[in-house]
Amino acid sequence: MTAMRTSPRAYESAPRFLGCFIDMAARRGPRNMLHLMFDPLGMRPYVANWPDVARSLFERVYRESISRIIDQKTKDLLAELLAYPDVKSEWKNPVAIGFMPTIPLGFVKGDRVLNYFSMVTTVGTPQTVAAQELRIECMFPADEATEIHHAEMMGTAGNP
């Protein structure tokens, strides 16, 4: 299982977006998106709804880990996430896990909160085990104001 690890061929857009908040060059690679989100010196201070986002992200990884044979890297990842401040071990309780197909995210940039939602798509079917491990996470602006500010922030305003 490759529990939401960032590919070594990290997408250009994610580091570019995150670089609007933190110095990505100062982060050692390979970068893991979960560590960036949970780290108090990473993106965490910029996440407006961090407790909700952290719980949702942790539950997603945990839910994936119990739905198949868990490997050592996933066990290590869960333990590392639990070691961050304010991460609660009860998030591993399957009874308490709620399921949403998307995770709402709010990022604080200056005096604004930019609202997004994140979706993970799993490629493949149960018959194609190799493809089933491929997950694509996409983040979309949740409202028009965020879409406009996001385009400006990323330097794409007015570009098709």
- Residues 125-153: tens digit of each pLDDT: 666 555 556 677 788 999 999 999 999 99
Q: Write the DSSP symbol of residue 46.
A: G
Question: Which three-class secondary structure state does DSSP give residue 137?
Answer: strand
Is a pLDDT exceeding 70 seen at residue 17? yes
The b/e string for 103-120 (b: 16+ C-beta within 10 A; e otherwise) is bebbbeeeeebbbbebee
Instruction: Identify the pLDDT of residue 85.
Output: 92
Residues linked to residue 74 through DSSP beta bridges, in sequence order: none
Per-residue pLDDT, 145? 95
Q: What is the pLDDT of residue 16?
A: 85
User: Which segment, 69-73, 148-152, 156-160, is predicted with the most confidence on average?
Assistant: 148-152
The helix/strand count (H/E) of the chain reads as 6, 3
Q: What is the pTM of this model?
A: 0.75
Buried b / exposed e along 58-96 (16+ C-beta atoms within 10 A):
bbbbbebbeeeeeeeebeebbeebeebeeeeeebbeeee
Q: What is the pLDDT of residues 94-137, one digit of tens each?
A: 554 456 678 889 999 999 999 999 887 766 666 655 555 667 77
Contacts of 105 (CB under 8 A, 6+ apart): 47, 49, 53, 115, 116, 117, 118, 139
Top-confidence range, 42-46, 54-58, 102-106, 116-120: 42-46
Angstrom CA distances, 129 to 6, 61, 71, 125, stand at: 19, 18, 15, 7
- The pLDDT assigned to 144 comes to 96
Angle, helices 72-82/50-66, rounded to nearest 10 degrees: 160
At residue 146, the pLDDT reads 95
pLDDT at 108: 96
Spacing of C-alpha 49 from chain mean position = 13
Query: Is the model's pLDDT at 90 over the cut of 60?
Result: yes
